[in-house]
Structure 1
C-alpha cells in the first residue's frame, strides 16, 4: 500500500487505543481482560477469561489491507477447531461485513471478541467429541510441519480402493498427484513424464487426532489407521505393501472421514515400509490434498451436478457459438458436440474466446482442446463438417438440447421444419446477432408441440414473410463490410455484443432444461432478446424497424406472445375433423 493510501485510511492503529477498545467491548459482556507484554510493538497481547480457561490472544494492530487483523493464541496442547497447528485463529470477514478504516481500534476489538467466541465454542467442541474439529480437519492438516500440497484427481466417494500416485521430486518442494489407475493421467503428470507408484485410499468412520505443537506426524499415526481397517481394507493394505522384501519403499496413504456438516474430509501421508510392514524409523510426511476431481470442482465452483450427465449439440462455433459452448461447460454440462466446418483465423481473434495459437485449427478442435483442459470432466466431440452433414447421422435420443448459432436464417428455418414433430422431445435454440450495436436474439422451440422458428417469419396479419418480425433492422439493407475485397466481407459487430448474445442463448437453454426437468414448467416456446443503443448503426445509416424501439419496453413474456401467440402452418396442431 502506498503512503498516500495508508494516510487516507488512517495509518497503523495505535496499540494503546486498540487495548482501550478491547477493554470497553469486553466490559459490556463482563469478560475479564488483562493486558500482557507485547511480543512486538504492533501486536496487542491480551488475556481474556473464558468459561473453562484463560485465552491469550495476540492481535496484529498494523493491518492495513482493509480486512480483519490476524489473531493468534498459544498453540493448544490438544487440537482445537478453527485454530491452526501454530495457533492462528481462523476468523474471517463474514458475509457482507464492511470495515470502516477510520475506526481501526474498533476493528481490533471486533476481531478480539470474534476470536474469543470462536475459541469458547472450539473448547466446548473438544470436550464433546471434536465434531467441529473434524469438520475443519483439512485446514488443520495444511499447517502440520512439512506438509506438502498435493492433488487428488479421483472422486473422494468413501469407496476404499487402490489409486496411483505420482511425485515430482524435481521441484523445489515435491508435488504429489493421485488418480484412478485406469484413468487418463493428469496433464501435469504427462508433461513431466512421472512414473506411477502404489497408493491406497481408505474411508474410515473416525480418525485419531493429529498431533499438536510441537509434536509431528509419526509412524504411530499410520499404525492407528491400520488398526481401524476392515477385513476388506486390510486386503487393500496388503496390496499397498506388496510382496515382503527387505528393500525400503515409500508409500502414500489417503484417508477420508465423514464431516457432520456434510461431505468428507480427506487427508494423506507418505510413509516408509520395509519387510512387509511400516518402517518405524522412516519419516512420515503429511500431504494436504487439493481436489481436482470433476464432481468436487463443479460443486465447489458453482456448476450444476445435475447437468453433468447432459449432452448438448452446438452448431456454429463462431463468436456467438464459442460463448454458448463455454457457458454451457462452465454451468456444468458434461458433454458437448460442437459442429463447425470453419477454421479459426486471424479475423476472429478479437471476437472469439480462442487464443491466437489456435489460428488455422478447426474451431471445434480448438474448443475441444482449450475447454477440456479448463473444465475437468468435460467431454467435447468436435465435428468439422456442415450442420447438414452432421444431421445425416445425428440421433436426437443422444441429446438433451441443441443450439444453432451460425446466424444463417434460411438454413435455420429448414432445420426448424425438419426437427419439428420428432418423437424425442428436446429444446432447440436459434440464436443470432444483429449488425453493429443493435442487439441479439434467442428463439427457443421444442421438437414436439406448437411453436417454431417459422412463427417469427410472419407479418402483423399472420401471413408468411421473408423477414423476421423480431428483426431490429428494416429489410433489404446491406450490412456487410470488407477491408480486403469481397472475399473478406463480414457483418460488423463487436466482442461485447457477441458475448451478450451467447450468454443470452446459453442461459435460455439452461433455464428450460433445469425447470422442465424439475417439473416447474411444461415445455413451451419462448423468445428472449437484448436491444442495444443503436448509435453505431445510426452513424452507418442503417434504418431500424419499429420493433427495435418497442423491444425496449417489452417483456420477454409479451414478446413470446407476439411471436408464438398463433402457431404457424408449420407447427400448428391439426384440428380434429370429428370435433
Structure 2
C-alpha cells in the first residue's frame, strides 16, 4: 500500500492524460465531502462529454493499490439521469465489478488509468443511451435506495402467471409473501417459523414479460400510479393483462402488488408496491390511491433463486436419496447432499454419537449421546432450507426387512456402513429386486492410505460382489481386490479394551471419500455416468507402514492408472451381476 505522498504522486500522473485538464489535488475540506467513502487522497480535473464541460474526481482509500479508486462526476447530475451514476448522491460512478478482480498492485498508475478509461466508457454509454438497459439490470439497487427499510421475504414461485398470493404482516409492516403457507414451512423444513406473522392478507403477483421502458425510481421521483399502469399494460401480452384485469375486479383499501421484472441480462427482480387509501377500483386499473405508492424491497427466498445462487442444482431438488450409515463418511455425505440441492433425504443408522469420534465426525461434540440420524436431521434443518429428512435409528437390513424403508422409493441408495458383510448382502438383495435404484458404496482404508467409491447399477455388470469374488485360480477366501492394504491383516485398534475397537483414520480421509461419493452420486442421478466405475484415491503410507502393515500391489498404481482401470474390476463370472 502507498502512503499519502505515494498516492498523490500516482494521482498527479494522470495530468499527462489528454482527456483531463487542470488536474489538481483536493484540499482537506474537499476531501471531507468524500469521507463516507474512506477517501484519503483525491484529484479533480476538467473534461467534456458531448460538448458539455464537467468535472471528474478520482480518489483512493488507504488500501490503494490493493483496491480500486473511486471516480465521481461533479455535479452528480451533470449528464442527467444515466445508469451507473449515483445522481442523487455524491456522483459516484460504478465502472467495474469487483468480484474476482485482479489488480496489478505494482502498477498503481496503470490501475488509475484503466479505471478512468472504464468510467469514461460508462459515462459515454449513458450519454449516448447505449447502456440504457442497465437501468433495469440494476433495478434492485435503485429500488433499495428508495424502498421502505423493512424488506419483505418472498417465497413466491417466480413464473409467468399473474395470480393472487398470500401476504403476512407483523405489526404494521408486511414481512412475507408466498403462494401458500406450505411454501414458507418448506423453507424452514417443517420447523417453526422464526418470525411468526400476526396477520394474513391477499396480494397480487404480476410477472412482467418485457422490461419496463421507464427509468427506475429515484428519491423524490418515485413511480407514479400512471407510470405503473403503463408499465403493466405495455409489459404484458393481451391474455396475461386480461388475467390481471380479472384479478383486479375486487379491491381493498390497501393493496400490495408484487411486480416480477425480467432483467435484460437474465433473472427476475421482485419489487413491491403498497397502494394506500384505495377507492374507486384497483389502482392498477382505474382506481385512486395515495400517489405515488410506497416502494417495498423484496428479498427472494424461493428455492429456484437460492439453490443455483449457492451452487446447487434445481433439477436435483425432487430426487430422493437414501443414506445408510451416518458415521464419519456418511455424515459428510449427508450434509454435502443437502448442499447440492437434493430435496428428500432418508437416513438410516442405529448408533448414537460418542466422544471418541468427535474429531472425525461432521457433527462434533454438540451431538454427543444423541442418535446420529436425529442429530443430522436437526443440523440440516438449522442450516439448509427446502430439505425434508426422514430418519430411522436402526440397521439398514432391519429397515428393509420390516418394510420401513423400501428401495424402490428412492432414486439412489448410498451405503457407507463400514460393514462389508452387510453391504455384500444388500448388494445381492437389491440386484434381485425389480426396479431397484443405483447404489453407491463408499468405504475407507486405515491410517489414511486411501478410500474407494463404487457405483452399481442393478441389471448391469459391475457390483460390490465383483470385488470380493474369487477371481484367480487357487483363490479361496474373500478379499477386497480394490484394497491398498495387503489381504489377511487386521487393522482394528483398541485403546481401552475390546469394547473400544475402532479403525484408525482421520476426518480429512472421511471427507475426501465423502466428496468422491457425492460427486459420483450426482453423476448417477443426472445420467452422466452410464456404467459402474470403481474410483479410488491414495493417501500417504507412512503411518500405515510405521504401524507394521503391508501394502497391496494395487497401491503402486498411479492416479492415471487407477482412473484408466476403473472398470477392470468387473467380473464376468460374478454370481450377482454377471449376465446369465
TM-score calculated relative to the size of structure 1: 0.83
2:14 aligned residue (3, 18, 22): 22
Unaligned runs of 5+ in 1: 1-8, 575-579
2:37 maps to what in 1? Answer: none
Instruction: State how far apart, in whole Å, the 2-side matches of 1:88 and 1:176 are.
Output: 32
Number of aligned residues: 544
1:142 maps to what in 2? Answer: 144
Map 1:381-396 → 2, pairs under 5 A:
381-392=390-401, 393=403, 394-396=405-407
Task: Decide which moves more: 501-510 or 267-276.
Answer: 267-276
Map 1:21-420 → 2, pairs under 5 A:
21-24=13-16, 26-27=17-18, 31=19, 33-35=21-23, 38=26, 39-40=30-31, 42-51=41-50, 53-54=52-53, 56-64=55-63, 66-73=66-73, 74-76=75-77, 79-84=81-86, 85-86=88-89, 87-92=91-96, 97-125=101-129, 130-144=132-146, 146-167=148-169, 176-183=175-182, 184-185=184-185, 187=188, 190-198=193-201, 199-204=203-208, 205-207=210-212, 208-216=214-222, 230-237=241-248, 241-242=251-252, 249=254, 252-275=256-279, 284-392=293-401, 393=403, 394-420=405-431
On the 8 A contact 1:435/1:479 being kept in 2, the answer is: yes
* Shift of residue 528, structure 1, vs aligned partner: 0.5
On the 8 A contact 1:125/1:132 being kept in 2, the answer is: no
On the 8 A contact 1:450/1:567 being kept in 2, the answer is: no
Instruction: State how far apart, in whole Å, the 2-side matches of 1:203 and 1:118 are.
Output: 30
TM-score calculated relative to the size of structure 2: 0.83
On the 8 A contact 1:272/1:283 being kept in 2, the answer is: no
On the 8 A contact 1:368/1:382 being kept in 2, the answer is: yes
When residues 42 and 219 of structure 1 are mapped into structure 2, their CA distance, relative to the original with a 3 A threshold, is farther
> Is 1:511–2:523 an aligned residue pair?
yes
* Shift of residue 63, structure 1, vs aligned partner: 4.4
For residues 173-226 of structure 1, give each alpha carbon's deviation from its aligned partner in whole angstroms, at most 9, with x where no partner exists: x88333333323465982333213433321234444333355456666666667
Q: Which secondary structure does the structure 2 equivalent of 1:191 belong to?
A: coil
Unaligned runs of 5+ in 2: 32-39
Q: CA RMSD in A?
A: 3.3
1:486 aligned residue (491, 494, 498): 498
When residues 100 and 422 of structure 1 are mapped into structure 2, their CA distance, relative to the original with a 3 A threshold, is same
Task: Decide which moves more: 395-404 or 306-315.
Answer: 395-404
> Is 1:542–2:541 an aligned residue pair?
no
When residues 350 and 226 of structure 1 are mapped into structure 2, their CA distance, relative to the original with a 3 A threshold, is same
On the 8 A contact 2:12/2:43 being kept in 1, the answer is: no
For residues 291-319 of structure 1, give each alpha carbon's deviation from its aligned partner in whole angstroms, at most 9, with x where no partner exists: 21111111112212222222221111111
1:4 maps to what in 2? Answer: none
When residues 357 and 474 of structure 1 are mapped into structure 2, their CA distance, relative to the original with a 3 A threshold, is same
